[in-house]
Amino acid sequence: MRLDEFNAMPTEDADAVVRPCVDIDSWARAIVRGRPYAGLDELLSAADAQARTWTSAEVERALADHPRIGERHAGTGTSARMSRSEQAAVDPHDADVQRRLAEGNAAYEERFDRIYLVRAAGRSAEEILGLLEERLANDPETEIAVTSGQLREIALLRLEGLFA
């Protein structure tokens, strides 16, 4: 999609374009309301600034649209397609990686009562597993901040991909 097309869209249509990047109402509304954008850098800067205002509750709710690392998104829409692409480095047929991810996901969920979220795009399965192990040592306050940062990275990469 071209940025000028996005800038000219009706509000409802523009919201539908950006919402698959991250399902946080305040973020989608701010991005749409901030139009028109002169360039991609301006859009990404606004998106990043807005993402830094997310509350813990908004981050927690947004996780509902993300599958566990190593699992496939159950949906069929844009967000599901993006998720499958992002997790492409995690081989679903590698039994050792799948076992380690399942164990790590279970430990993470036991500790933090939410799914483990990491920007998987551009990372190997070993990197993802290493980060999971590191993050299990975080206290809850630190971990929600890390999760928010990972969600922000995912949202910005997805947004950039829409206009690349």
Q: Write the CATH number of the domain with boundaries 3-163.
A: 1.10.3330.10
- For residue 126, pLDDT over 80 is answered with yes
Q: Does position 94 have pLDDT exceeding 90, yes or no?
A: no
- Rounded distance between C-alpha atoms, residue 136 and residue 133, angstroms: 5
Supply the pTM of this predicted model.
0.90
Q: Are 116 and 69 in contact (CB under 8 A)?
A: yes
Instruction: Give mean pLDDT, residues 116-140.
Output: 94
DSSP single-letter state for residue 118: -
Question: Domain residue spans in the chain?
Answer: 3-163
Dihedral angle of Cα 34, 50, 14, 1, to the nearest 10 degrees: 100
- For helices 95-112 and 125-135, angle between their N-to-C axes, nearest 10 degrees: 20
SS3 67: coil
Q: What is the mean pLDDT of the chain?
A: 91
